[in-house]
Amino acid sequence: MNLISNNINDLLMDLLAEIETDAEVYKDLLSKTSINNPQVRNQARIFIANNLKSNKYMEGFSIIDSKTGHMIRTMKNQEDKLLVAETISEGNQVFRSTLYENRGTPEQKVILTDSNESDPRHFDFYLEFKDNKKKGWFNSRGYSQNVLHGYPPILSYVVPLEDDLGALVGMLTLDFGVIQLQKYLMDITTKKMDRDYSFGGIPFVLERRNNQEIVVIGHPDRIYIESIPDPSIVSVSNKFLILAEKHPDQRIRAFTKIIEKEYKEKRDPFNQNSTGINVVKADDNSLWLYSWTATYPGQKPDWVIGVCVNRELAAASVI
């Protein structure tokens, strides 16, 4: 069973590694030229956008100019069409965001605009990475720009951009959303899960947020992603993220009992280097066997990748 969790962990880590590798390429592209040059920046954005189209698991990317606060974000909507959200300074610390469809083409259309935008250099992910200038993953987050509020959250790999002297000139994020993570887990479920680890089970991904809430950021059933869930079961920080302990899927709720047990025994399942395995009873008294692995032990963000199987179904298969 531990091999199952490790296998899924490896698959997801491979996906994250691909994103990290792409980010390095884009960083070099932006750092070798001037991010403050609008023409060069636009050429780089088009190059990245073309690559984005060919990767069904990537959600989008953003580039922030550290000098002006200019931010341009390219993203896929749920129909996989590219949208562009641009934030520009209008002077006197006033910023405006505009959401475009078909930006830069004869079919360009303004979807929404907001003249009460925050300075992108004050966004949480920017502030966290600008001082240490270290790249890394950021906890699942809602979109920072006002014109994108209401869209499902994203998982961001953040890369500071520096000039030849090492000064910060901008910030790049490559993102995949909870919807893309769901698609990935669905593909694993339909293509990768064989008789060794189906048995009524699922792969899932949990995140421990900064306020210690534990939320579900990955589940292979689209019903838990495509609509905003009941407000009574979601995170206080994001209306799209369902609390694990209140999740409609009893298999997820059952796993929180294991987390509680780990905490009581002074073990942190989000920071263990080894794979965990345990059995727990669900609300309907069915027994479920779980295997889980921390994605980044000792680092942020705190993610656990898990797999469960129905113990009776699994046992019956070997009799």
> For position 298, what pLDDT does the model report?
80
Which CATH topology does 193-316 take? Beta-Lactamase (3.30.450)
Task: Note whether 255 and 308 are within 8 A (CB).
Answer: yes
State residue 286's pLDDT score. Answer: 94
> Among 95, 103, 111, which residue's Cα sits nearest to residue 151?
111
Structure tokens at 168: 């910060």
Domain with CATH 3.30.450.20 in the chain: 14-177
The fold adopted by the segment(s) 14-177 is: Beta-Lactamase (3.30.450)
C-alpha 301: how far from chain center? 10
DSSP-based three-state secondary structure for 137 = strand
Cα torsion 80, 238, 176, 25: sign? positive
Helices (H) and strands (E) in the chain, counts: 6, 14
Give bridge partners of residue 306 from the DSSP assignment: 204, 292
Residues 82, 179, 158, 299: what is their CA dihedral angle, to the nearest 10 degrees?
Answer: -170
- What confidence score (pLDDT) does residue 206 get? 95
Question: What is the SS3 assignment for 87?
Answer: strand
Provide the pLDDT for residue 197.
47
- Per-residue pLDDT, 195: 45
**pLDDT > 70 fraction of the chain, expressed in percent and rounded:** 91
Q: pLDDT at position 274, please?
A: 82
pLDDT at 263 (0 to 100): 94
Q: Which residue has the tokens 């698959």?
A: 11
The pLDDT tens digits of the residues spanning 211-227 come to 899 999 999 887 766 66
pLDDT value of residue 89? 93
pTM for the predicted model, two decimal places: 0.85
Residue ranges in the chain modelled with pLDDT below 50 = 3, 194-197, 319
Alpha-carbon gap, residue 243 to 17, rounded angstroms:
27
Q: Residues of 228-255 as b/e, b for ≥16 C-beta within 10 angstroms?
A: ebeeeebbebbebbbbbbbbebebbbbb
